[in-house]
Amino acid sequence: MALGVRKLSYALGAEIMGLDLRKPMDDATAAEIRKIWLENLVIVIRGQEITPAQQVDFGRHFGPLDDHKSLPFYRLQEHPEIFLITNKEVNGKPSETKDTGRLWHSDHSFTTRPTMASALYCREIPSVGGDTVFTNMYMAYDTLSDTLKGILDKLEAIHDITTYAPFRKRNPEQVAEMHRINPPVAQPVVRIHAETGRKALYVSEALTFRFVGMTEEESRGLMEFLWEHSVRPEFTYRHQWKVGDLLMWDNRCAMHMAPADYTPGEPRLMHRITILGTPSGRVYQEAAPQKAAA
C-alpha cells in the first residue's frame, strides 16, 4: 500500500495520508509507516475516529506497549496501556497531568528502559493553542564542534523525575511513591540510535541536572548550553492539534514540550500510548566517600 507523505518542517515531521486506523493494518503497511517515521522522527495521521482499543492495536505493530506501572495513577482502567494527559477532572478530582510536558524532555528517560515511541491521540483541544513542540536531537548533536562531541561522547548524565518542577507540586504521597519506583538513572549524554546508528544528544532541561562525576555547579554551564542549543528554532516543529490527530514520535532522537499556550479553563484531553524501548542507562548510586588514610 503506497502512502501519501507530506513534510511538515525543515527539521522533522511528516504527515501520512491514506490511512484509516479503524481498519486492520497489515505488516507491509506497518513497515512502511515505520520507515517514514524513522526518516522524519515525528509522524501525524489526521482525521482518525478510533477507540482506545484501536489505538492500542496500532501501537502494538511497532513493539510491546508500556502498561505505565512507573506512572500508575492516570491509566485508563480498561486499557492500562493508555495514559491520560488532561486538564479535565479525573475521578472527580483535578488532574495532576494538566501541566505534563511543560519543559523539554524525552519520555521515561528517568528509567532504565526509556520509551522508544510515544503515540498521542487528540480527543479534545482548546479553541486556540494546546500545541506540542518537537526538536531534532540528531541535528543538535551534528551541529556541535568535533572537540565538544569528543567530550560528550564519554559522559553520562543523571536523569531524575523528582527534579521536574511541576512534578514536585503533586500529591506528596504520589511523589514519594514515584521516587521509590523510579530512582535516579545515569544515561549516556550521546545516545546511538538502535535502528539508524546515528548519534543524538540525550539530555533535557526537565530531567537532567548534572553529569556523573561532577557537581551541579561544575555541570551547570555546559548543561545549560546543551539545553539551549538543542532547541534552536531551526531544529524544531510545532504541531497545532486538531481533534482526531494521532501523532507518534521517536524519543531516542527527538524531545518534545507542551507550552501553556491556552486558556486554562478550556479542555485538553490526550490519550497516550508508549512503546517500550531497549534497555539504556543504569540505576545511579552515589559513590561512598573514601575514608582518609590513617
Q: Which of 113-122, 173-182, 284-293 has the lowest mean pLDDT?
A: 284-293
Tell me: pLDDT of 288 over 60. Answer: no
Any domain includes 283 = no
Q: Would you put residue 190 in left (φ > 0), alpha (ψ -120 to 50) or beta?
A: beta
Any domain includes 212 = yes
Tell me: pLDDT of 294 over 60. Answer: no
pLDDT of residue 168: 58
Any domain includes 284 = no
Report yes or no: 46 and 14 within 8 Å, Cβ to Cβ: no
Rg of the chain over Cα atoms, rounded to whole angstroms, equals: 19
pLDDT of residue 234: 98
Gap between the Cα atoms of 149 and 84, Å rounded = 38
Any domain includes 290 = no
Any domain includes 11 = yes
What are the residues facing 190 on neighbouring strands? 201
The grid cell for 87 is 486538564
Report yes or no: 254 and 115 within 8 Å, Cβ to Cβ: no
Any domain includes 287 = no
Name the domain count of the chain.
1
Report yes or no: 87 and 98 within 8 Å, Cβ to Cβ: yes
Tell me: pLDDT of 262 over 70. Answer: yes
Gap between the Cα atoms of 98 and 117, Å rounded = 21
Any domain includes 191 = yes
Calculate mean pLDDT across residues 182-200: 96
| Residues 62-72: tens digit of each pLDDT | 999 998 876 66
pLDDT of residue 171: 66
Gap between the Cα atoms of 286 and 210, Å rounded = 13
The grid cell for 184 is 535516579
The grid cell for 120 is 498521542
The number of angstroms, rounded, from the C-alpha of 68 to the middle of its chain's C-alpha atoms is 14
Calculate mean pLDDT across residues 40-68: 96
The grid cell for 170 is 503533586
CA distances from 275 to 3, 50, 116, 190, 292 (A): 23, 18, 6, 21, 48
Any domain includes 163 = yes
State the residue range of the domain holding 156.
4-277
Report H helices in the chain: 27-40, 52-60, 137-142, 146-152, 172-181, 216-230
Mean pLDDT computed over every residue of the chain: 91
| Residues 113-161: tens digit of each pLDDT | 999 999 999 999 999 999 999 999 999 999 999 999 999 999 999 999 8
Query: Following CA atoms 172, 181, 85, 95 in sequence, which dihedral angle do they give, to the nearest 10 degrees?
Result: -20
Gap between the Cα atoms of 117 and 217, Å rounded = 33
pLDDT of residue 170: 61
- SS3 of 233, please? helix
Report H helices in 116-171: 137-142, 146-152
Q: Which of 78, 120, 116 is nearest to 97 (CA)?
A: 120
Tell me: pLDDT of 290 over 50. Answer: no
Give the model's confidence band at 10: pLDDT under 50 very low, under 70 low, under 90 confident, else very high: very high
**Between 92 and 48, the higher pLDDT residue:** 48
CA distances from 28 to 24, 32, 158 (A): 12, 6, 39
Gap between the Cα atoms of 100 and 108, Å rounded = 13
For the entire predicted model, the pTM comes to 0.92
Phi/psi for 118 (5° steps) reads -120, 140
- CATH number, domain containing residue 237: 3.60.130.10
Q: Tell me the catalytic residues.
A: 105, 107, 256, 272
pLDDT of residue 164: 67
Report yes or no: 34 and 243 within 8 Å, Cβ to Cβ: no
